[in-house]
Amino acid sequence: MHAVTSNGAHIPALGFGTFRMSKDEVLRILPQALRIGFRHIDTAQAYGNEAEVGESIRQSGIPRADIFLTTKVWVDRYRHDALIASVDESLRKLKTDHVDLLLLHWPGGSDVPMAERLGALNEVRAAGKVRHIGISNFNAAQMEEAVRLSDAPIATNQVEYHPYLDQTKILQAARRHGMSVTAYYAMANGRVPSDPLLNDIAARHGKTAAQVALRWLVQQPDVVALSKTAREARLKENFAIFDFALTREEMAAIRDLARPDGRIVNPAGLAPKWDD
């Protein structure tokens, strides 16, 4: 598997996401994901499964140094002291002395100044508890603000990204600052597997529409994709995207699927004013 290098972080281009996975599901499927070869694991304080992620990694026998582990600070922990304490709590649950990437989960939902949030992120990084810092669900202007306020480089912005959502402005902002974009909701809430174009392209390559969508993401420069499933068969399918490549014409055709109403994730009070 290739990695995306962004501001010093070497992030495996395909990650295993644990959003909306129960504790039992994590304990059942994450060990299988690790056996198959996943080495980038994404969780968050708000997911309620950090402890199970940590236990699965511990029992896997895979050296901690071989795993790229991401978690996120929830919006009610953005005050300086609360953020520091929350990171210590996450590390205890994850059974590790550091995470490779720590993100601010949403830009909204808190009145804590962005400078305070970034200051605390920089502090835990300087203390060695976090290797790299990043953001999630920020619009392009907020990305610029985060870069300006942070002493350490921002590694990534984790956002919704799939064939039906144009993220050109986010990608351009990321590339200006050496950042990556980490894509979640790659299956567009179940829309991808039944898409006629994606299935047509998949048939040409002997793949599935889901594999084509994931390949489309990771084949773009500076893009990391998160996959998620609780099914072992789908797990193997999601991982098998590095043995084929899409043509320039196929990449463009998939990009043309984007629509103005393509966004799925837009929680009131947490989400920013998105880029047009």
Number of structural domains the chain divides into: 1
For every residue of 69-98, DSSP letters joined together read EEEEE-GGG-SHHHHHHHHHHHHHHHTSS-
Q: Is 185 a known active-site residue? A: no
Residue 10, domain member (yes or no) = yes
pLDDT at 276: 82
DSSP 107: S
For the segment 57-82, the average pLDDT, to the nearest whole number, is: 98
Asked if residue 256 is part of any domain, the answer here is: no
Query: For residue range 174-199, what is the model confidence (pLDDT) as tens digits?
Result: 999 999 999 999 999 999 999 999 99
Q: Containing domain of residue 40, as a range? A: 3-187+220-242
Out of 47, 78, 164, 184, which one is annotated catalytic? Answer: 47
Percent of the chain with pLDDT over 70: 100
pLDDT at 222: 97
Token representation of residue 40: 């980038």
User: pLDDT, tens digit, for every residue of 124-156?
Assistant: 999 999 999 999 999 999 999 999 999 999 999
Q: Has residue 206 been placed in a domain?
A: no
Place of tokens 């055709």: 253
Residue 247 covered by a domain: no
Tell if the pTM clears 0.95, that is, is over it. Answer: yes
Beta partners for 154? 133
Span 206-246, pLDDT tens digits: 999 999 999 999 999 999 999 999 898 899 999 999 999 99
What CATH number did the domain enclosing 180 receive? 3.20.20.100
Specify the pLDDT at position 54. Answer: 98
